[in-house]
Amino acid sequence: MKTFRNILSWGLPIIVALAVVFVVRTYLLEVVKVSGDSMEPNLRNGEAMIVTKPTPVKRLSVIVFDAYGEDPTAPKNTNYVKRVIGLPGDQVVSKNGYLYVNHRKINQHFISQTEQGAGTGNWTLGSLAKQHNWSYQGNTVPRGHYFVLGDHRSVSEDGRAWGYVDAKKIMGVVKVPFWEGSSVHRANVNSLAS
């Protein structure tokens, strides 16, 4: 009986701690690390950040999502970090270095004027779909999906190439970029697809 109490005295706190970590990582937040430069200058390669779950996804939210199946080149267990430009039902158009959502110009204060036009070109969702042979060929973001871009437009492999992100694949929203070069590394997030 004494042995059982000793095991319980140190075993129970460990089990409770593991359960708390599991619940927090599954339902509340997770620490992730950026790998790549497609979100520069806002998120740099190697920078750690907190991803909150469940948080409503809004236009211009930065999200982390499971890229496997979204980007045909992404291997299993690969997460990307990108910025949401189009919500379900939105029309997204790029014209002369500016983005328009539902015929309204988007304020992209988070990146330089040069980067706004770099690598963007003139397109509609329909023209991108036709060019890249997406399964959904419409001019609006399909229901239950999001259209995303990297902030470093000239190098980002993003929705312009592979289409939309299924809402079910979203891990969470980046809320708090914090310490850099930390040894805390819960998940590897690839912000640049190869």
Q: Residue 85, SS3? A: strand
Give residue 83's pLDDT: 95
Residues of the chain with pLDDT under 50: 178-194
Q: What CA–CA distance (Å, rounded) separates 41 from 109?
A: 12
Give residue 138's pLDDT: 86
Show the tokens assigned to 76.
Answer: 């299993």
Exposed/middle/buried for 122, CB within 10 Å: 0-12, 13-18, 19+? exposed
Q: Residue 48, SS3? A: strand
Residue that has been written with the tokens 């790998």 in this structure? 35
Nearest to 51 by CA among 192, 188, 194: 188
Given 33, 35, 38, 94, which residue is catalytic? Answer: 38
Q: What CA–CA distance (Å, rounded) separates 64 from 52?
A: 10
Give residue 4's pLDDT: 66
Specify the CATH class of 2-190 in words. mainly beta
- Structural element, H or E, at residue 14: helix 2-23
Give residue 63's pLDDT: 93
Residue ranges of E strands in 96-158: 98-101, 104-105, 123-124, 145-149
Active-site residue flag, 38: yes
Amino acid at 33: K
Amino acid at 38: S
Give residue 20's pLDDT: 55
Give residue 185's pLDDT: 34
Q: pTM for the full model?
A: 0.79
Q: What CA–CA distance (Å, rounded) separates 11 from 18?
A: 11
Active-site residue flag, 58: no
Given 33, 35, 61, 82, which residue is catalytic? Answer: 82
Residue-wise pLDDT tens digits, 143-175: 999 999 999 988 889 999 999 999 999 999 987
Give residue 192's pLDDT: 37
